[in-house]
């Protein structure tokens, strides 16, 4: 008996076979701990290939670690981060940015999880720069793809980067799903980040087929002094680092990062298109990466939220009846089609019931 492949999260999936092979291949003899091994060195080289020669990557355990280490490494205690109110940083890290990273967050309402230069302009009363009573913005943080499944194009990133830089701020990208964003637009990872003016990146691996592992990547020259101390102090330094290095190497050396992300994206597109055709179902965000945000009738949510084995099929996103459906690197067309069929059936069954 095994759990179905549902749509609860792209971290419900397991490890891609090529990644597990890479782990296995690295598992012989002794290797220096804490990153002084050859797998981590090779991964560093891959990061430079993708993100440019100035890129310096610091592998960490998880996405919270990547975000908080990244931000802590470039901010003083009185500095702040501007981000959309839907940012993982703000809503899903249990206060780690504030308590552990030591920054304040200024949040911005957005329709689709995406910051714009206009929204940025209104995100802080800029006349207070230099006023010791106010936390001072230092970083703008956006997620790409966003927590709502939407994607910034390189030009959009560039516009925000320029606006941030004009204010003396850095642009950070929470790239837990940066591969999905790049794959969706058929651009390279560097095109969507370094080339678009991004200063530092949380590079995501776990959701894209790794067992564990993300990386803080400083893209701009001269950033991140002391980051090795920050990573250690924030408890994100793995002793058997070779296995993080080997995974990141395997993900980035060929096109595995893109294959995995593209598969997830394709399945989300299929799912979105199919759901759009179901009466009573409404997409509330454009499907641009690997997530589908759809309004389902309440009675359907209630019946479908858990699959027959009691596993969570998806998460309810808000009280308005929006559900989040995430596709993963291992999602198959049959998974999508079966789910859509069950939605259709359930909606038909429950059509008479009022909410």
Q: Which is nearer to a copy of itself, 146 or 185 (CB)?
A: 146
| Residue of the chain from 39, 152, 243, 339 that contacts a copy of itself (CB under 8 A) | 243
When the beta carbons of 74 and 278 are compared against a copy of itself, the nearer one is: 74
* Candidate residues 59, 65, 197, 291; the one interacting with a copy of itself per rule CB under 8 A: 65
The only residue of 18, 42, 102, 305 in contact with a copy of itself, by rule CB under 8 A: 102
Stretch that binds a copy of itself, among 96-104, 192-200, 266-274, 285-293 (CB under 8 A): 96-104
Spatial separation of the C-alpha atoms in residues 323 and 321, rounded to whole Å: 6
Residue 134 binding a copy of itself, by CB under 8 A: yes
Regarding 328 and contact with a copy of itself (CB under 8 A), the answer is yes
**Least distance from a copy of itself to the Cβ atom of residue 132, Å:** 4
Sign of CA pseudo-dihedral 144, 149, 150, 153: positive
Tell me the per-residue interface mask from 295 to 324 with a copy of itself, x by CB under 8 A, - otherwise: ----------------xx-----xx-----
Kindly state whether residue 164 participates in binding a copy of itself, applying the rule CB under 8 A: no
Residues with Cβ within 8 Å of 12's Cβ and at least 6 positions away in sequence, in order, are 5, 6, 328
In the bound complex, what is the minimum distance in angstroms from residue 316's beta carbon to a copy of itself?
8
Residues 182 and 189: beta-carbon distance below 8 Å: yes
Choice between 138 and 258, CB closer to a copy of itself: 138
Question: Minimum CB separation from a copy of itself for residue 149, in Å?
Answer: 18
Instruction: State how far the Cα of 180 lies from the Cα of 253, in Å rounded to an integer.
Output: 17
Contact 81, 138 (CB under 8 A): yes
Among 50, 104, 172, 177, binds a copy of itself (CB under 8 A): 104
- Pairing verdict, β 136-143 and 170-175: parallel
CB atoms inside a 10 Å sphere around CB 159:
18
Alpha carbon distance 64, 237 (integer Å): 13
- The stretch among 39-47, 92-100, 281-289, 345-353 that binds a copy of itself (CB under 8 A) is 92-100
| 96 in contact with a copy of itself (CB under 8 A) | yes
Site for a copy of itself in 186-225 (CB under 8 A): 206-207, 211-212
* 342 lies in the site for a copy of itself, by CB under 8 A: no
Rule CB under 8 A: say whether 27 interacts with a copy of itself.
Answer: yes
Secondary structure of residue 231 in the 3-state scheme = helix
C-alpha closest to that of 266 among 286, 283, 289, 284: 289
Q: Residue 9: CB partners within 8 Å, gap ≥ 6?
A: 315, 326, 328
Q: What are all long-range contacts of 29-35, with beta carbons under 8 Å and residues at least 24 apart?
A: 31/240, 31/242, 33/239, 33/240, 33/241, 34/237, 34/238, 34/239, 34/241, 35/59, 35/237, 35/238, 35/241, 35/245
Give 107 or 117: the residue with its C-beta nearer to a copy of itself: 107
């Amino acid at each position: 008996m095994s759990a179905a492949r549902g749509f609860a999260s792209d971290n419900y999936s397991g490890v891609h076979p090529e990644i597990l092979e890479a782990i296995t291949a690295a598992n012989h003899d002794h290797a220096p701990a804490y990153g002084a091994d050859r797998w981590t060195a090779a991964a560093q080289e891959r990061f430079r290939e993708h993100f440019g020669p100035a890129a310096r990557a610091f592998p960490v355990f998880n996405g919270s670690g990547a975000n908080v280490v990244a931000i802590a490494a470039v901010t003083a205690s009185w500095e702040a981060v501007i981000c959309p109110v839907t940012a993982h940083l703000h809503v899903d890290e249990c206060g780690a940015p504030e308590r552990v990273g030591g920054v304040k967050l200024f949040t911005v309402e957005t329709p689709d999880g995406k910051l714009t230069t206009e929204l940025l302009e209104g995100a802080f009363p800029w006349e207070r720069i230099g006023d010791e009573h106010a936390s001072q913005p230092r970083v703008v943080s956006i997620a790409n793809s966003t927590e709502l499944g939407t994607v910034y194009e390189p030009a959009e990133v560039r516009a925000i980067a320029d606006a941030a830089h004009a204010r003396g701020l850095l642009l950070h990208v929470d790239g837990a799903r940066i591969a999905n964003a790049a794959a969706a637009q058929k651009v390279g990872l560097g095109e969507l980040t370094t080339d678009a003016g991004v200063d530092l990146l949380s590079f995501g691996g776990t959701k894209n087929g790794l067992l564990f592992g993300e990386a803080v990547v400083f893209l701009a020259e001269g950033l991140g002094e002391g980051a090795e101390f920050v990573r250690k102090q924030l408890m994100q330094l793995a002793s058997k680092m070779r296995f993080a290095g080997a995974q990141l190497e395997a993900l980035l050396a060929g096109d595995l990062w893109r294959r995995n992300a593209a598969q997830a994206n394709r399945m989300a597109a299929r799912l979105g298109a199919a759901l759009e055709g179901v009466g009573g179902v409404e997409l509330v965000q454009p499907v641009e990466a690997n997530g589908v945000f759809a309004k389902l009738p309440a009675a359907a949510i209630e019946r479908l939220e858990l699959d027959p084995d009691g596993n969570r099929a998806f998460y309810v996103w808000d009280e308005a009846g929006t559900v989040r459906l995430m596709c993963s690197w291992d999602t198959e067309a049959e998974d999508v089609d079966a789910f859509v069929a069950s939605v259709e059936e359930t909606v038909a069954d429950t059509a008479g019931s009022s909410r």
